[in-house]
Amino acid sequence: MADDKDVLRDVWFGRIPTCFALYQDEVTEKEAEPFYLLLPRVSYLTLVTDKVKKHFLKAVKPEDVEEMWFEYEGTPLKWHYPIGVLFDLHALNTALPWSITVHFKNFPERDLLHCLSNSVIEAHFMSCIKEADALKHKSQVINDMQKKDHKQLWMGLQNDKFDQFWAMNRKLMEYPTEEGGFRYIPFRIYQTMSDRPFIQKLFRPASPEGHTHTLGDLLKEMYPAAIAHDGLSGFLRSLLDSPGLPRSLMALSLKQDSPRGGGEGGGEERRS
């Protein structure tokens, strides 16, 4: 998987056309034009929106500026979710560009974590990397890396440098066949339910009989409603040890559809 560069590049360079608009009640100086940006699906909102902040600060009095945050149709957007996950959860079926509202006041303390600097994003990102390696390699790979290697991972993401990132990340994605592969598959299933925003459990890459698990197998066990009534699509048959993702943790976003045919509601699944 680590050598399948065409797939990896396609995932890395996935972009979402987005239109940012300042919340009208916060305009205190002059009218602000919308700001358009191609958002990388694999990054974080607060990491790629410095230009957005500079643009809208011109329309707000300095004394009115607090921490910047974003919302979509009344829902605050969690900065610590990958951008692709946020889009798939909240706006997948909307016309592009994705319309995001920018705020500088009334930070929703109950809904969002504070993010006052890039060091907060870096700490979250590295925590996810370390958690994933603990599941896959008992933390052996991440612990064998030097501090500069960790920094290269982060700088690759922060600066949107595919080759810089993957020079280090490929080590985390190596599949140790002589040891029977990964211990567990690191995954997180995101959903819009506020009482359980994501599902994360231990899941082995193969059955006790040695059969390699697929993404469909994972969903059938962890979230059966996500499986279509007529069986698995070709996408869900893909092998779990080859997700083609730029990060070490597989992120799945699930949106509940309306109930069909009197049965349980199905789920719409997307990968980011």
Give the Cα separation of 191 and 115 in Å (integer): 22
Q: Give the pLDDT of the chain (272 residues) as one tens digit per residue.
A: 445 778 889 989 999 999 999 999 988 878 889 999 999 999 999 999 999 999 999 899 888 899 999 999 999 999 999 999 999 989 988 899 999 999 999 999 999 999 999 999 999 999 999 999 999 999 999 999 999 999 999 999 999 999 999 999 999 988 776 666 788 989 888 887 666 778 889 999 888 888 888 888 888 888 887 665 545 454 444 444 444 444 555 666 655 543 333 333 334 444 44
Q: Where exactly does CATH 3.10.20.90 map onto the chain?
A: 184-272
Q: Where exactly does CATH 3.10.20.620 map onto the chain?
A: 6-103
- Quick one: pLDDT at residue 253? 62
Helix residue ranges, H only, the chain: 5-12, 50-57, 83-90, 118-137, 140-144, 147-158, 162-173, 215-222
pTM for this model (two decimals): 0.82
Best CA proximity match to 75, nearest among 215, 240, 197: 197
- Quick one: pLDDT at residue 255? 56
Top CATH class, 6-103: alpha beta
- Quick one: pLDDT at residue 177? 67
CATH hierarchy code of domain 184-272: 3.10.20.90
